[in-house]
Amino acid sequence: MTAASTVVTRFAPSPTGRLHVGNVRAALHNWMWARKHGGRFILRIDDTDAARSEERFVDAIRADLAWLGLHPDHEERQSARFDRYEAVFEELRSTGRIYPAYESAQELDLKRKIARGRGLPPIYDRAALSLTEADHARYAEEGTRPHWRFRLDHAAPIKWDDLIRGAQSFDPAQLSDPVIRRADGSWLYLLPSAIDDVDMGVTHVVRGEDHVSNTALQLQMFDAMRAARPRFAHEALLTGAEGKLSKRLGALGVDELRESGIEPAAIVSLLARLGTSDPVEPVIDPAPLIEAFDFAHFGRAPARFDEVELAQVNARVVHQLPFAGVADRLPAGMDAGGWEAVRPNLHTVAEAADWWHVVEGPIEAVPAGEDADYLAQAAAVAHEIDWSGDPWHTLTNRLKAEAGRKGKALFLPLRRALTGRDHGPDMAALLPLIGQARAVERLEAAACG
Structure confidence at residue 249 (pLDDT): 64
pLDDT at position 183 over 60:
yes
252 has a pLDDT exceeding 70:
yes
So what's the pLDDT on residue 366?
83
By the 8 A CB rule, do 418 and 431 touch? yes
Mean pLDDT (whole number) for 365-389: 93
Given a contact cutoff of 8 angstroms between Cβ atoms, the answer to whether 218 and 190 are in contact is: yes
Taking the alpha carbons at both ends of the chain, their separation in whole angstroms is: 73
Residues in CB range of 250: below 8 A, 6 or more apart: 20, 22
Over 60: is that where the pLDDT of 3 sits?
no
Q: Are 280 and 229 in contact (CB under 8 A)?
A: no
The DSSP result for 94-137, as a single string, is HTTSEEEE---HHHHHHHHHHHHHTT-------GGGG--HHHHH
Which domains are present in the chain?
83-234 (3.40.50.620), 361-448 (1.10.10.350)
Q: List pLDDT tens digits, range 395-444.
A: 999 999 999 999 999 999 999 999 999 999 999 999 999 999 999 999 99
- Which residues does 322 contact at the CB level (< 8 Å), separation at least 6? none
The annotation status of 408 as a binding-site residue, yes or no, is: no
Partnered with residue 374 across adjacent β-strands are none
143 vs 164: CA distance, rounded Å: 48
- Average pLDDT rounded to a whole number, residues 381-403: 96
Amino acid in position 38:
G
Strands 40-45 and 74-77: parallel
Q: Is 445 helix (H, G, I), strand (E, B) or coil?
A: helix
Phi, psi (degrees; rounded to nearest 5) at 274 = -65, 125
For every residue of 195-234, DSSP letters joined together read: HHHHHTT--EEEEEGGGHHHHHHHHHHHHHTT-PPPEEEE
Dump pLDDT digits (tens) for 31-70: 999 999 999 999 999 999 988 999 999 999 999 999 999 9
- Is residue 34 within 8 Å of 7, Cβ to Cβ? yes
pLDDT digits (tens, 9 = 90+) for 90-140: 999 999 999 999 999 999 999 999 989 998 889 999 999 999 999 999 999
Indicate the length of the chain as a whole number: 449
Assess whether pLDDT exceeds 90 at residue 269: yes
State residue 242's pLDDT score.
66
pLDDT value at residue 171: 97
Q: Sign of the CA dihedral 51, 53, 10, 74?
A: positive
Between 55-68 and 21-36, two packed helices, what is the crossing angle to 10 degrees? 60
188-211 pLDDT, tens digit each: 999 999 999 999 999 999 999 999
pLDDT digits (tens, 9 = 90+) for 278-303: 999 999 999 999 999 999 999 998 88
For the chain, helix (H) and strand (E) counts, in that order, are 19, 12
Is residue 245 pLDDT above 60, yes or no? Answer: no
Query: pTM higher than 0.85 for the full model?
Result: yes
Mean pLDDT of the 235-252 span: 71
Q: What is the residue-averaged pLDDT of the chain?
A: 94
* DSSP string over 385-401: S--SS-HHHHHHHHHHH
99: buried, middle or exposed (CB in 10 Å: 19+, 13-18, 0-12)? Answer: middle
Could you tell me if 368 and 417 are in contact, meaning their C-beta atoms sit under 8 angstroms apart?
yes
